[in-house]
């Protein structure tokens, strides 16, 4: 037996003339009586008429149908209903705004690497501003109440940071799913509690995640954590085209290095891997064997600055001599640009340093030795040039082509500098020129020995990693994806390559500030959340986040 066809649902529409006839109006698809505020689920004429005649039978006696006074009364009732509804809507909107404001302030705190407890300080500051700036405003009480309703307690800020981090993380993962190719850069460092932290960044030059290595930091440990992250977050690893690392054994071990393990895993595609260009450039400086210069410079600086009294006396001497610099700066091996700055400051203050050492009856023959002073001048100049290259290679949006161009330009400059040195032109070596003028033995200057050092730098500087197709889509007439699919795919892959691990290094610098000795108990999860918000360029969806939670005023 065939089933009876289902009845088609009937749709009832509200007619505008019913407002004056039955004193009903439509609010959010529901018929609301403007006299008693009761609602009718269906917009049926019979329902509205029955309700009006049953509950308000005397209304037609006071306000006759189709009369001017009835029309005026309906407008008054309708306006009053809107005002009454706004009284309920406004507090809800204010709570939503306060919740959104708490998200924005929490993001600001995380961006500036501030602790969660600073939310209360921000709120106290807002209260001071409100009491001072808005004191003469007529609505000052409303302003103060609105600011005081923003929830910024430590627990609230913590939850907000967690939600913001999750939102940004999902945006990054969505972009990874949509992109055609991506590459990663990885680097490992220790936090203030000596916990190894491995940072990943993606081809959009943004932060991906922190992997917390609790035990050992071998290649298999790094691979295990990375593979787990890829699987848990459904990262499309098949789109990976390149991995950039710092060249450590744990990364590039032949059999058990991270890269080797990735190549041997069937889930990974074929990909390029190479040593960070900036790390390579920093290693080039080590081929210059001027330890006899640097050791004495560091020794003298430490002897002056290590003891408070000596340091105080030296600064007093600088003030007395009206030196251009008021003090020496310390050298740190872990900072790439430190050596050049220390040497330049030392050279500029050398006469003052000699004067200060003489007051202590301290003699160092090297400071009067022409050959040593010439080496000092040359090392100061070449280190400054290497620092300039290093700085040019750093920063965001430094594509591989730009880095290779910078390195090739430096190679060309080395040839020019060598030619000038051979002809005793010291225009590009101001400190070396200064020392040749200061020493008494003019025969101590042998340009050929410094040219040999420049040749060594040119020979050991990194080789080009790859040739690069520069902006192949600039002209659509010349290059079309449909016409040259293989070439465009190759260009897209190359454009995804990272030339350095600069983003990782930058993130480590931020991590040192976030997880300082004053916040050493920060959990790994919260460290990841804070670091992501501090370095990521993605903007969280504040309004959507505010709509997902129940807004409550601050207590």
SS3 of residue 188 by DSSP: strand
Query: Can you give the length of the chain in residues?
Result: 555
Residues 452 and 524 in one domain: no
Alpha carbon distances (Å) from 386 to 52, 328, 505: 89, 21, 19
Residue 371 placed within a domain = yes
Q: pLDDT digits over 203-233, tens only?
A: 556 788 888 887 788 888 889 988 999 999 9
In 127-181, beta strands by DSSP E: none
CATH of the domain at 230: 3.30.420.10
Residue 62 placed within a domain = yes
Q: How far apart are the first and last CA of the chain?
A: 66
Residues 505 and 456 in one domain: no
Q: Determine the average pLDDT of the residues in 164-184.
A: 88
Question: Would you say the C-alpha torsion 257, 258, 261, 262 has a positive or negative sign?
Answer: negative
User: What total number of domains does the chain contain?
Assistant: 3
Q: Determine the average pLDDT of the residues in 333-343.
A: 58
Residues 530 and 395 in one domain: no
Residues 262 and 311 in one domain: no
Residues 259 and 221 in one domain: yes
Q: Which domain holds residue 227?
A: 181-281+499-543
Alpha carbon distances (Å) from 370 to 215, 363, 384: 52, 16, 21
Residues 431 and 306 in one domain: yes
SS3 of residue 369 by DSSP: coil
Residue 122 placed within a domain = no
In 3D space, the residue among 513, 282, 259 whose CA is nearest the CA of residue 407 turns out to be: 282
pLDDT at 9 exceeding the cut of 60: no
Alpha carbon distances (Å) from 97 to 76, 102, 147, 339: 31, 9, 10, 51
Residues 326 and 448 in one domain: yes
pLDDT band at 332 (very low <50, low <70, confident <90, very high): very low
Residue 99 placed within a domain = no
User: Which of 43-52, 116-125, 160-169 has the weakest average pLDDT?
Assistant: 43-52
End residue of a domain, out of 404, 435, 460: 460
Residue 106 placed within a domain = no
Could you give the CA distance from residue 86 to residue 109 in angstroms, rounded to a whole number?
34
Residue 391 placed within a domain = yes
- In this predicted structure, what is the pLDDT of residue 337? 45
In 3D space, the residue among 202, 178, 115, 278 whose CA is nearest the CA of residue 536 turns out to be: 202
Model pTM score: 0.60
Residues 409 and 299 in one domain: yes
Residue 427 has a CB neighbour count (10 Å cut-off) of: 8
Sole residue written with tokens 């029309």 = 71
pLDDT at 315 exceeding the cut of 60: yes
Q: Are 313 and 356 in contact (CB under 8 A)?
A: yes
Give the DSSP letter string of 460-484. HSPPP-------TTS-TTT--TTT-
- In this predicted structure, what is the pLDDT of residue 196? 57
Residues 376 and 450 in one domain: yes
Q: pLDDT digits over 453-498, tens only?
A: 888 887 766 444 334 334 444 444 445 556 556 656 666 666 666 6
Q: Are 514 and 522 in contact (CB under 8 A)?
A: yes
Residues 351 and 444 in one domain: yes
Residues 298 and 421 in one domain: yes
Kindly state the DSSP code that residue 274 receives in the 8-state scheme: E
Q: The tokens of 415 are what?
A: 């040839």
In 3D space, the residue among 242, 243, 277 whose CA is nearest the CA of residue 410 turns out to be: 277
């Amino acid at each position: 037996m065939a089933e009876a066809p289902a009845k088609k649902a009937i749709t009832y529409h509200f007619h505008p003339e019913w407002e004056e006839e039955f004193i009903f109006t439509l609010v959010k698809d529901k018929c609301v009586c403007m006299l008693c505020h009761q609602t009718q689920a269906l917009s049926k004429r019979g329902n509205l008429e029955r309700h009006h005649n049953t509950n308000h039978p005397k209304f037609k006696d006071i306000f006759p149908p189709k009369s001017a006074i009835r029309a005026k009364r309906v407008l008054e009732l309708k306006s009053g209903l809107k005002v009454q509804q706004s009284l309920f809507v406004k507090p809800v909107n204010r709570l939503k705004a306060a919740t959104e404001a708490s998200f924005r302030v929490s993001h600001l705190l995380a961006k500036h690497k501030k602790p969660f407890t600073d939310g209360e300080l921000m709120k106290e500051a807002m209260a001071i501003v409100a009491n001072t700036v808005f004191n003469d405003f007529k609505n000052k009480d409303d302003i103060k109440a609105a600011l005081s309703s923003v929830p910024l307690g430590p627990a609230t800020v913590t939850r907000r940071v967690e939600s913001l981090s999750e939102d940004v993380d999902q945006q990054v993962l969505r972009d990874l799913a949509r992109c055609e190719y991506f590459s990663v850069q990885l680097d490992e460092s220790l936090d203030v509690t000596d916990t190894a932290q491995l940072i990943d960044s993606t081809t959009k030059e943004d932060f991906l995640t922190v992997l917390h290595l609790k035990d050992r930091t071998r290649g298999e440990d790094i691979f295990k954590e990375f593979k787990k992250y890829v699987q848990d977050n459904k990262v499309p690893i098949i789109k990976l085209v390149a991995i950039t690392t710092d060249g450590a054994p744990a990364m590039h071990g032949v059999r058990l290095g991270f890269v080797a393990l990735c190549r041997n895993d069937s889930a990974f595609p074929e990909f390029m891997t190479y040593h960070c260009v900036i790390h390579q450039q920093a290693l080039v400086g080590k081929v210059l064997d001027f330890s006899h210069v640097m050791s004495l410079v560091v020794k003298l600086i430490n002897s002056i600055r290590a003891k408070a009294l000596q340091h105080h006396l030296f600064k007093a001497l600088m003030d007395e001599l009206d030196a251009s610099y008021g003090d020496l700066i310390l050298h740190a091996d872990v900072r790439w640009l430190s050596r050049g700055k220390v040497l330049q400051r030392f050279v500029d203050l050398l006469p003052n340093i000699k004067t200060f050492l003489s007051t202590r009856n301290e003699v160092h023959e090297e400071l009067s030795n022409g050959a040593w002073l010439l080496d000092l001048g040359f090392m100061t100049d070449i280190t400054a040039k290497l620092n300039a290259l290093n700085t040019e290679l750093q920063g965001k949006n430094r594509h591989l082509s730009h880095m290779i161009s910078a390195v090739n330009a430096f190679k060309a400059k080395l040839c020019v500098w060598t030619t000038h040195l051979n002809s005793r032109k010291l225009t590009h070596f101001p400190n070396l020129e200064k020392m040749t003028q200061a020493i008494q033995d003019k025969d101590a200057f042998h340009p050929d020995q410094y040219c040999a050092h420049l040749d060594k730098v040119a020979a050991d500087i990194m080789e080009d990693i790859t040739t690069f197709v520069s902006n192949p889509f600039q002209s659509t007439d010349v290059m079309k994806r449909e016409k040259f699919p293989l070439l465009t795919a190759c260009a897209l892959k190359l454009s995804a390559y990272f030339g350095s691990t600069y983003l990782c290094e930058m993130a480590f610098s931020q991590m040192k500030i976030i997880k300082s000795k004053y916040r050493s108990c920060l959990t790994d999860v919260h460290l990841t959340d804070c670091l992501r918000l501090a370095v990521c360029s993605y903007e969280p969806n504040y309004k959507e986040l505010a709509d997902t939670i129940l807004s409550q005023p601050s207590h």
